Chains A and B, each alone.
Chain A
Amino acid sequence: MSHWLLTETLHLSEALLLAEGLPGWREVLLCRSFWAILLGGLAVWLLLPNRIAYGKTLGGVLGIIGAGLFAADWPLLGNWTDQGVFWLLALITIGAAASTICSRSPVYSAIWFALSILGTAGLFFYNGAQFLGVATVVVYAGAIVVTFLFVIMLAQPAGHSDYDRITWGWFPKTFSVLTAAVFVGLLTMLLGNLKTAAEAPVEPAALAAAAERLEQPGGVLNSAHMANVGKHLFTEHLISVELAGTLLLAALVGAVAMAIQGKPRLATQIEEALR
């Protein structure tokens, strides 16, 4: 651990994030993560809207097994309280996310998405990003999801649609799951060095020093969190804030313009209402 801490940060990232060699077949077959990804992918494939009997049940079981395998392959945090909280939040986030994409009804999707956002917000809180956690809940769960629900209600008054039950052709589901699985697998391989480093035994002093650094006046876990966020946001990133404001304004104007364009004329609306 000290080895990594003493290395210069710039080079550290490079060294951590690039695998030093491709794993052999044997390594891969023995790896839990490989089977976890395989099972998880299969689970998602089964859970996604399809016509397979007991697809949901089978998918759910496979998903739980896969998640368990995957989680077991992750390095431990060294503290079982922390570990439990993290697993809970991760489970909520990922489970809700999986449910979002697998729900037949978009309304349920939206609600599951809101739950997933809550889990994410918890992860944010847990990592010392209180402001962002609150902001995520407010912006996504509060505003976006409600808006989407509103739109869904407006657009689908007649009930569930055909297109929520099927996908476009025979291949997209398979290919998409494959793509995502390969993506996650690549990521895991990529983080191989990081995992090795994380699993190395750590001196308690180093842990204490890191914790102390985090709670310093400018640290991430310092109690003056909002002050620190505000300081950085409005000093170093002032121009970006201005640009973000301009972007929001432009998006507002664009959204209004588009919404008006798609709207039928008032007279037509009245006629339709009268009919």
Chain B
Amino acid sequence: MNDRITFCLTIIPALPLLAAVVVAVLGPKLLKAYSHVPVVLALAGACVASLVLVGEVSREQSSVAVRQAGQGFEQVVTYWTWAAVPDALAAPTEAAAPTESGASAATSADAKPRTFRIDISLRADALTAMMLGMVTFVATLVAIFAAGYMHGDRSYWRFFATVGLFVFSMTMLVSVSNFLLLFVFWEAVGVCSYLLIGFWYEKPEAAAAGKKAFLVNRVGDFAFTLAMFLIWCTYGTLNYHDTLATGATDPEAVQRAVVDPGSGELVAGVLGQSRIAAGNYVAGGLATAICLLLLLGACGKSAQFPLHVWLPDAMEGPTPVSALIHAATMVTAGVYMIARCTPLFAVSPEAQLTVACVGGFTALLAGLIALTQFDLKRVLAYSTISQLGYMFLALGAGSMLGITGGMYHLFTHAFFKALLFLGAGSVMHAMGGVIDMRQFGGLRRLMPWTHATFLVGCLALSGIFPLAGFWSKDVILASVHDKVHAFDHELEHRHTPHALHDPAHPAPESSAEAKPSPLASLTDGQLAAYSKIYNVLYWASVFTAFLTALYTFRALCLTFYGEERIPAQAGHHAHESPPLMVAPLVALAIASAVVGVLCIGTLNNWGTNKLTTYLEGAPSLAAGAITATKVPAEFHLAVAGVGTVAALAGLILGLYLYLGDRKEARFLQQMFDLQGVDRLTDPQWVVGLERVWWIGLVTRFLRRNYLGWLVTAIGYVLGVLSLILAIPLLVGQFVSPYKLSLHKFYFDELYNAAIVWPLRLAASVCYWIDRWIVDGLVNLVGAIPPAVGSVMRNLQMGLVQFYALAMMLGALILVAARMIWAAG
């Protein structure tokens, strides 16, 4: 056990939690405008600890023992047992569905009743370390920025307390070693997100947006819980890591139990090293079900189609929140979760295909929507959805390159998207809260630092060499491209076992030959179909790269170029932001610029990516089926070329359209809005045709030769045809490509009609039943005493003497009764 790792792992969540508690307790009365100090200090401390952790994990991973074992490195710290229910699961069904390899002979422990044991345990491995480093680094910079951005807000302390709480939850989310705890903190970040979106709850839009985010996430969370139930029923544990039956995680004892399966003490974790090494995973429909449910959960959190609708609305929150939670950290939780569950996904190519399709479709959809939005933050929000779609696409590729590439893109995206959001926040700060790009422009001279850093962010997002986005996007494109060839290769390999490999796409390493590819379970037809689908996805992602550059530079030009316009709301704020806000921008800009370059390997092996290599040390990626897809490090020059060309095309088109007087942009807008279609609906244009000189020649010729009737007939036919054609065109005007994009493809309206209104109708029916039938019965019962009482009520006439008379009569009755009793 590495004590330094234990210490760092403990202190990283503890510091933000402590700061949150301190600010929540002391903030309102004592700290007030200094509420950011504890949070910034704690986040900086956590950031330092995270960097130490990254280094330590790297050192441990490269140790000889770990490399020889080939199972990756993990260290689990168990604090206490949260729950322990003995005999909770009688007999796991795992043994019933062995994988096709036959390597999953159920261990004797699996036959025993299982204890439902939830330990509060954190883990350190490459995935966790990378996420922790990214989260704490971005969070620190965002907190510093927010100290300037939120300055003077009435609930300053509340903001920082919640941010502290969020960072605590997020760090816990990425470092827990149990699905249930993952879910707990999955919800906790959701709550923090809700609180921060609705931070300005006086605004009805903010409150509604918070509610929407929360409710849409519930759909995903429901799927996640179902996935958790399935995992528990299938694998008999919710832990990632291997433990003994007693819950102990001592590595040596666990190792002994692994070596001696007869002892029955081992409880192989769902993502435990022993299970991964043994390949002990169920396959088939059950695996696909688990994966799809997990995917739906991830879709909710990471705003993927069909649950993407909450993220754009979440921009009602303060901009630092958008930067931290809704761009860099929380929304990547889904990506992290799927990467973490790679061994589960690896056995289900169908699930991987679904992940890829969801990702690719979302990327394209969000990119198209982003093209027409006028709210700067919404453009960035759709960009985030699009980039998250990229990550899902990469994860869906399912290869080592894809998964590490997805994580790599997550890593770089965090920097440049946080940078862009903070830049937008800086603009918003200067413009007095206005974020509509039609109301301002040409801010380049007014805000030089913001402009420069925003430009860097735009270039990085567009994937321009050599900024961060270029490298990670290239890896994603390459992984999808490789996937297509993997299918083709598998198909080819299956029928001609010793066929020569295409040198451009070498076969998997010989060491992995022992483990059959998971693709072996697919039929030939499926292989061909999958290959085609991935091919489509590849080109869709290339097109998305083009769109990305286009909308990014559209936003840049609208904001910073053209004539200088400043809205009235800006007032005296219209100047460059204070240094406190510019400093994080600069830091993030530098990070966005260099983080990609820093990750590339040495000169002689420059295809190697240091980060992806690092991630391969995580247990989920270090062993098992995924290693079969490992290819030698290589830089895909062709793919990079295609990607760069697409990005540059988008960039240049964006600059061409939106620099200058934007005449072309308006023309394109009208064209895509199908304006002018109504001209076609007027049959008179047929008459006008004659004025075109060559048609005129023909008609004059015809008329002269007594064929005028022919001209008339053709004219009528054309007129009627145009009338028939006009109907779809007129309808099309309402769903023109431009309008579709502007109205976000009417997803909100669709969901309203399909889900919200039926539910509301059902609720009102239930309300009616409750109000008039259930309550009616209760009220009926309640109405009996008053009815009886109303008879007696007339006696209460308020006259004192009446009461005296009544009392006297009562006394008389008592006396008479006593006499009769005594006499009888």
Contacts and interface: CB of A to CB of B under 8 A. Distances in A.
Interface of A: 18-22, 168, 172, 175-176, 179, 182-183, 186, 189-190
A103 to B, nearest CB: 18
A182 B822 CA distance: 18
Contacts of A19: 819, 822-823
A273 B808 CA distance: 45
B799 A168 contact: yes
Contacts of B816: 182, 186
B812 A179 contact: yes
Interface of B is mostly: helix
Contacts of B808: 179
B812 A21 contact: no
The list of the 5 closest CB pairs from A to B, nearest first, reads A22-B823, A18-B822, A21-B823, A179-B808, A19-B823
Given A22-B820, A168-B802, A186-B816, 8 more contacts: A18-B822, A19-B819, A22-B823, A175-B809, A176-B805, A179-B812, A182-B816, A190-B819
A175 B805 contact: yes
Nearest to A187: B815
B801 A168 contact: yes
A168 B805 CA distance: 12
Contacts of A183: 812, 815
Interface of B: 799, 801-802, 805, 808-809, 812, 815-816, 819-820, 822-824
Contacts of B809: 175, 179
A179 B819 contact: no
Contact of A186 (B799, B805, B815, B824): B815
B812 A186 contact: yes
Contacts of B812: 179, 182-183, 186
B801 A172 contact: yes
A176 B812 CA distance: 12
A72 B747 CA distance: 107
A20 B822 CA distance: 8
A168 B823 CA distance: 37
Contacts of A182: 812, 816
B581 to A, nearest CB: 69
A190 B815 CA distance: 10
A111 B757 CA distance: 86
Contacts of B805: 172, 175-176, 179
Contacts of B824: 22
A15 B816 CA distance: 17
Contacts of A18: 819, 822-823
A189 B808 CA distance: 19
18 contacts: A18-B823, A19-B819, A19-B822, A20-B823, A21-B823, A22-B819, A22-B824, A168-B799, A168-B802, A172-B801, A172-B805, A182-B812, A182-B816, A183-B815, A186-B812, A186-B816, A186-B819, A190-B819
A148 B142 CA distance: 89
B823 A172 contact: no
A183 B809 CA distance: 10
Nearest to A176: B805
Contacts of B802: 168, 172
Nearest to A171: B805
A182 B816 CA distance: 9
B818 to A, nearest CB: 9
A32 B206 CA distance: 94
A175 B820 CA distance: 22
Contacts of A189: 819
A190 B822 CA distance: 11
A172 B815 CA distance: 21
B810 to A, nearest CB: 10
